[in-house]
């Protein structure tokens, strides 16, 4: 039954006047391909006519036989075999024609008058402006009429080229027509179809978009554009286009098929099935609809229904091969590969020349491991199609996969001899020669292809492979960028680009390229393997295993995949799965050293030391020169307590490899674990002083950063910088170490160098965000992190820094969300879990902290910081035995680190084990002599066990030892003053406090200690007079104003105190103690809150680590209603000064106002407990 068209007939106005729309001169759609490719006639032919009638249609331009291209024509008309009169070179229009064809060459020259016209035209074109020339219509050989006629002429030529299959020439002519009339929608549509024929999908998409922008009623363009969206996996825009067409033509089959495909993409399977059934109602024999319905049924495991649909499709289309291929897949899904084989064999018997059926049957055999049968099928296809190149190419590809390159080469040479101009054969030969390392042969073959087709993608990729293999990375990168620009969905191009980035050490960009390669070429196992390798290096084990699962599904015995899977399981703490993977790799690849080493490491971790030593002996026997097995043997000896033999092994390795910085670092690590810092320092420095080793310099710098020796760290980082000139990852490491050493300027310099090498490097950008966070530049950090996440939405590190940002902003809820996302993306990465645990501890939520810690320790049971936090969580709930066990494990893992030992001392004190607490504190101070909490705790311990004199003697000893460190000496003098106050030696105490202020004028606590002493002695007037005398001789002495302000404030005279602080600020606007105290007074009095907030905020920026300043700023935030930020700020202050009742009280207020009554109650109890103690005052 014929269906009348519901769309209006459009007059295209070309060639001249026909109002009847004409069908395009494109061949019919092959059987089995989507019906969406067919363009229906606006006149509304029947479905049958639309299905196969296009091949019978006449060209659009004229009826009857085509005009002889060399027939005489008026002056100015070029023959069809010449280049077009108006052509394009890049974006430049070129006027003129080329050489005539053979037929034209023998034609008589034009009459003399015509020649004179040409000569005159050429002269005028050199001397007269184009505008004047256009006005001279008598000489119009170049203008050639109005835009409408030029458009018509170029469209005629374009259609002629298209009818003859010369699509490149057609593209040029369509563009010429559109230059004459840029608003010609039909021209844009025809140009898009031509672009598709020349494999230019991006340009086709742009032309289709332009066509529908100009003429939204062009339903053919709308459909084709919808196809693009569907192919790109964009269900929503594809559905939008389908519905737009169906609103005008509800029964249009092509639109219904597009709609069903979009619904499948959107996961709306029942709706998709309903649409497909409607298609079959309109066109019972529609093959595409039947196949799609069958596939959906099989997807839902409705196998019988799918089989019935495929049977009906096969009966309706006996010549189609798709039903048989789908039925074979269905049988495989059912678990019946023998039936699948029978289906394909039967179809191949009916169509022995079908290359697609042969390929599908061979793939089935390969999946079943029957390579001989697969080879026989490929060979039979070659015999059935002796003159075709495609079967030979398929068999050659099979030989390449089977590691038989000689057979593949012989077959391709035979194919070339039979079809010397076949570009596919030449490309395959070039690619195989590139794989075999025959660079010259590969280059020559690729050049031969590019002579015939200069834009040929395969040949350019072959050249890129040769360049990568020859380490010509810059040239390869430029070529690959051009290929990706023209063919952005070529997975192999992205894979090669990833190899370039990998060779340059640009891991982040390599990962991005490999991800694109996998997206566009899911069957590229090499891309998946290298992407998994990057993930393992990043400790993103789950993401690595996702890729490796795909590789091992297709190649279950791939040794590289098995080794990577073993390493990924180790990152997750899954030793059993790791052992299984490594054992399979060993069975496949033999006694590979890396596999033996991994198995030995697992055995050592499980304390199966004899098994580990046996495996290591086998590895050393296999490769006596390898350092890895001997290093692991030293590790096993250390774990079993044989330290002497372990040290001997490490020393022997150092002697054998004196320039190996990694070995030196392992040896130094051994000494650090033994608590011998001096030996570790000696090893690091000796390795670095050997010179010209970037790794050694970085190792030395990292050691000194860990020892908080910024000077030595800066020295070795300065040594490393010139060696890292072109090493972007090394520059990132240097920047991070500078940040940890609190040298932000130097860090920024290293990051600038990294940015010059690779502005888009993700690690560099995130390190820059870390630097901004460290400098409290939150807006800058937020911008960087947001940009990285826009480009890399699955980057766990970016979410980690986002969590740190929100924490710095005081938004704990968003901080937790971001950190949880970081954990979800990279569950084996410890950083985010550690911060989550710290946040929970800061909120006194021991249960939540322990949950994160246990998750972390399940994956890494040697994480020192996790055990320290675990100890802190148990201390919070006063579960001292559990706290002791965790902290002792931490101390065992890192005996040279003081944090666990100090916490153990606090546990011992809480358990009333004074002697043990003293010994532990002594160990802390031996490791870190400037550990301030340990110094204060030791003084308190000595005062309680040996008396005040012992405490003062200890402080005096420390003052002598740390006289060069003004900040630490000021802290010790204040500590000494406090002890002297308790002994009622007030004059000496006052002198100690004044000395502290002399060394550190911004030490707020010392001002209050001194003022408290004056108040206690009832000497306020005397103290005021003393400072006023100072101001008479030195009126700009800021410290004197500050002292007077504190004295007045302590005495309750807030007015005079405010005046003194204001004078101090007037003389030094950045004097943080005065800013802080003035803000506090204003807040206490509830006046001028904006000024108070501004003062407190400025003080916080100047003294971010002072808990008193943090307390004031936190209280100011409460008055502003910024409770989340206040909680973060006050928690930080409480960590730094846990004995301040005022801080805990303000934290309780913040919790309560934020709607957290339980935490508020806990903080208030802490404040009450402290308020009755002598150190509980503000």
Q: For residue range 804-839, list pLDDT tens digits in order.
A: 988 887 777 888 889 989 888 877 678 888 998 988
CB 690 within 8 A of CB 659: yes
CB 941 within 8 A of CB 906: no
* Mutual angle of helices 1004-1016 and 986-999, in 10-degree steps: 160
pLDDT of residue 1012: 67
Alpha-carbon distance 524 to 41, whole Å? 41
First to last CA, the chain: 94
**Distances in whole angstroms, Cα of residue 12 to Cα of each of 186, 194, 204:** 7, 18, 20
Alpha-carbon distance 330 to 323, whole Å? 10
CB 615 within 8 A of CB 596: yes
| pLDDT, mean over the chain | 80
Structural domains for the chain: 352-420 (1.25.40.10), 423-522 (1.25.40.10), 829-928 (1.25.40.10), 1104-1178 (1.25.40.10)
Higher pLDDT, 33 or 166: 166
Three-state SS at 1136: helix
pLDDT of residue 1030: 66
What mean pLDDT do residues 941-965 have?
89
Higher pLDDT, 50 or 238: 238
CB 1049 within 8 A of CB 1084: no
Please list the residues that pair with 86 across neighbouring strands.
95
pLDDT band per the 50, 70, 90 thresholds, residue 1000: confident
| Radius of gyration, alpha carbons of the chain | 40
Residue 617: CB atoms within 10 A of its CB come to: 14
CB 483 within 8 A of CB 461: yes
**Share above pLDDT 70 across residues of the chain, in percent, rounded to a whole number:** 86
pLDDT of residue 830: 84
Helices vs strands, H then E, count in the chain: 64, 2
Three-state SS at 522: coil
DSSP letters, 57-70, are PPPSS-SSSPPPTT
CB 737 within 8 A of CB 714: no
DSSP letters, 908-930, are HHHTT-HHHHHHHHHHHHHH-TT
pLDDT of residue 498: 93
pLDDT band per the 50, 70, 90 thresholds, residue 1039: confident
For the chain, the residue count is 1178
- pTM tops 0.85, yes or no: no
The per-residue pLDDT for range 130-154, each reduced to its tens digit, is 444 333 443 334 444 578 888 999 9
CB 1126 within 8 A of CB 1103: no
Residues with Cβ within 8 Å of residue 270, at least 6 apart in sequence = none
Tell me: pLDDT of 742 over 90: no
Report the candidate in 1137, 1136, 1134 with the shortest Cα–Cα distance to residue 1162.
1134
């Amino acid at each position: 039954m014929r269906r009348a068209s519901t769309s209006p007939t459009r007059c295209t106005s070309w060639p001249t006047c026909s109002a009847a729309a004409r069908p395009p001169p494109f061949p019919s759609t092959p059987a089995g391909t989507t019906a969406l490719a067919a363009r229906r006639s606006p006149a509304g032919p029947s479905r049958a006519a639309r299905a196969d009638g296009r091949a019978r249609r006449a060209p659009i331009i004229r009826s009857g036989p085509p005009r002889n291209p060399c027939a005489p024509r008026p002056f100015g008309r070029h023959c069809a075999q010449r280049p077009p009169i108006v052509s394009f070179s890049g974006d430049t229009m070129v006027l003129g024609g080329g050489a005539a064809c053979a037929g034209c060459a023998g034609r008589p020259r034009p009459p003399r008058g015509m020649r004179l016209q040409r000569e005159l035209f050429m002269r005028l074109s050199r001397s007269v402006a184009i505008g004047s020339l256009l006005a001279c219509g008598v000489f119009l050989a170049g203008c050639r009429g109005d835009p409408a006629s030029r458009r018509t002429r170029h469209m005629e030529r374009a259609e002629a080229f298209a009818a003859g299959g010369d699509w490149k020439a057609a593209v040029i002519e369509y563009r010429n027509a559109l230059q004459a009339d840029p608003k010609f929608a039909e021209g844009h549509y025809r140009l898009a179809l031509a672009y598709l024929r020349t494999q230019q999908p991006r340009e086709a998409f742009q032309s289709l978009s332009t066509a529908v922008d100009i003429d939204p009623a062009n339903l053919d363009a709308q459909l084709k554009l919808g196809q693009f969206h569907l192919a790109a996996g964009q269900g929503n825009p594809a559905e939008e286009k389908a519905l737009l067409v169906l609103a005008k033509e509800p029964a249009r089959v092509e639109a219904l098929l597009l709609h069903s495909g979009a619904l499948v993409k959107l996961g709306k399977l029942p709706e998709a099935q309903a649409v497909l059934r409607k298609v079959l109602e309109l066109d019972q024999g529609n093959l595409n609809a039947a196949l799609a319905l069958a596939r959906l049924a099989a997807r839902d495991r409705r196998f019988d229904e799918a089989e019935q649909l495929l049977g009906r499709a096969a009966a309706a289309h006996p010549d189609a091969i798709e039903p048989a291929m789908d039925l074979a897949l269905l049988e495989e899904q059912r678990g019946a590969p023998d039936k699948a084989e029978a289906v394909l064999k039967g179809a191949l018997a009916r169509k022995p020349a079908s290359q697609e059926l042969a390929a599908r049957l061979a793939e089935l055999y390969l999946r079943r491991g029957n390579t001989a049968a697969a080879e026989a099928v490929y060979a039979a296809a070659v015999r059935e199609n002796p003159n075709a190149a495609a079967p030979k190419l398929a068999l050659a590809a099979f030989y390449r996969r089977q590691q038989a390159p000689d057979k593949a080469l012989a077959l391709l040479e035979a194919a070339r001899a039979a079809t010397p101009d076949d570009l596919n054969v030449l490309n395959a030969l070039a690619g195989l020669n590139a794989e075999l390392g025959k660079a010259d042969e590969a280059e020559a073959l690729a050049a031969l292809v590019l002579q015939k087709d200069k834009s040929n993608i395969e040949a350019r990729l072959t050249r890129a492979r040769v360049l990568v293999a020859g380490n010509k990375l810059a040239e390869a990168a430029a070529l690959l960028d051009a290929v990706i620009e023209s063919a952005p969905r070529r997975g192999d191009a992205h894979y090669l680009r990833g190899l370039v980035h990998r060779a340059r050490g640009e891991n982040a960009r390599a990962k991005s390229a490999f991800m694109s390669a996998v997206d566009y070429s899911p069957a590229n196992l090499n891309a998946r393997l290298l992407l998994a390798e990057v993930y393992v290096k990043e400790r993103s084990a789950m993401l690595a295993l996702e890729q490796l699962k795909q590789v091992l599904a297709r190649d279950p015995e791939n040794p590289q995949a098995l080794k990577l899977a073993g390493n990924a399981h180790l990152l997750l703490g899954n030793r059993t799965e790791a052992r299984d993977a490594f054992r399979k790799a060993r069975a496949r690849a033999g006694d590979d050293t890396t596999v033996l080493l991994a198995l030995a490491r697992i055995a050592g971790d499980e304390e199966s030391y004899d098994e580990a030593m046996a495996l290591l002996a086998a590895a050393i026997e296999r490769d006596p020169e390898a350092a890895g097995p001997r290093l692991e043997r030293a590790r096993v000896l250390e774990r079993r307590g044989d330290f002497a033999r372990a040290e001997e092994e490490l020393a022997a390795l150092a002697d054998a490899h004196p320039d190996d910085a990694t070995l030196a670092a392992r040896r130094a690590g051994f000494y650090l674990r033994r608590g011998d810092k001096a030996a570790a320092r000696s090893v690091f420095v000796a390795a670095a002083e050997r010179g010209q080793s970037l790794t050694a310099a970085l190792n030395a710098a990292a050691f000194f950063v860990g020892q908080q020796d910024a000077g030595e760290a800066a020295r070795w980082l300065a040594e490393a910088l010139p060696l890292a000139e072109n090493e972007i990852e090394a520059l990132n490491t240097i920047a991070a170490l500078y940040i940890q050493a609190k040298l932000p300027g130097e860090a920024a310099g290293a990051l600038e160098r990294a940015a010059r090498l690779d502005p888009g490097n993700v690690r560099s950008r995130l390190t820059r965000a870390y630097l901004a966070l460290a400098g409290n530049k939150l807006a800058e950090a937020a911008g960087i992190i947001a940009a990285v996440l826009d480009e890399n939405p699955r980057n766990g590190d970016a979410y980690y820094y986002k969590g740190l940002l929100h924490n710095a902003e005081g938004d704990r809820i968003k901080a937790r969300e971001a950190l949880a996302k970081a954990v979800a993306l990279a569950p084996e990465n410890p950083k985010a879990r550690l911060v989550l645990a710290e946040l929970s501890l800061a909120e006194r939520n021991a249960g939540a902290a322990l949950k994160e810690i246990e998750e972390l320790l399940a994956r890494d049971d040697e994480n020192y910081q996790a055990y320290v936090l675990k100890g802190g969580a148990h201390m919070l709930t006063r579960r001292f035995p559990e706290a002791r066990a965790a902290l002792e494990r931490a101390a065992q893992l890192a005996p040279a680190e003081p944090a666990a030992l100090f916490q153990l001392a606090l546990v011992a004190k809480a358990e009333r084990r004074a002697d043990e607490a003293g010994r532990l504190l002594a160990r802390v101070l031996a490791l870190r002599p400037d550990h301030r909490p340990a110094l204060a705790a030791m003084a308190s311990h000595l005062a309680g066990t040996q008396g005040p004199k012992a405490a003062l003697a200890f402080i005096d000893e420390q003052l002598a030892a740390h006289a060069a460190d003004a900040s630490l000496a000021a802290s010790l003098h204040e500590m000494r003053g406090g002890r002297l106050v308790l002994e009622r030696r007030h004059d000496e105490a006052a002198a100690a406090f004044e000395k502290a202020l002399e060394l550190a004028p911004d030490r707020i606590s010392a001002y209050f200690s001194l003022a408290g002493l004056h108040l206690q002695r009832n000497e306020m007037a005397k103290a005021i007079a003393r400072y006023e005398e100072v101001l008479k001789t030195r009126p700009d002495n800021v410290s004197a104003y500050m002292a007077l302000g504190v004295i007045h404030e302590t005495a309750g005279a807030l007015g005079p105190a405010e005046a003194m602080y204001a004078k101090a600020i007037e003389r030094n606007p950045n004097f943080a103690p005065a800013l802080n105290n003035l803000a506090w007074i204003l807040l206490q009095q509830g006046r001028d809150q904006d000024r108070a907030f501004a003062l407190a905020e400025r003080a916080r920026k100047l003294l971010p680590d002072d808990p008193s300043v943090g307390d004031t700023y936190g209280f100011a935030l409460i008055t502003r209603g910024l409770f989340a930020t206040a909680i973060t700020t006050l928690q930080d202050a409480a960590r730094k000064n846990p004995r301040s009742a005022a801080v805990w009280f303000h934290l309780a207020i913040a919790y309560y106002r934020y709607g957290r009554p339980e935490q508020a109650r806990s903080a208030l109890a802490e404040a009450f407990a402290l308020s009755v103690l002598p150190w509980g005052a503000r």
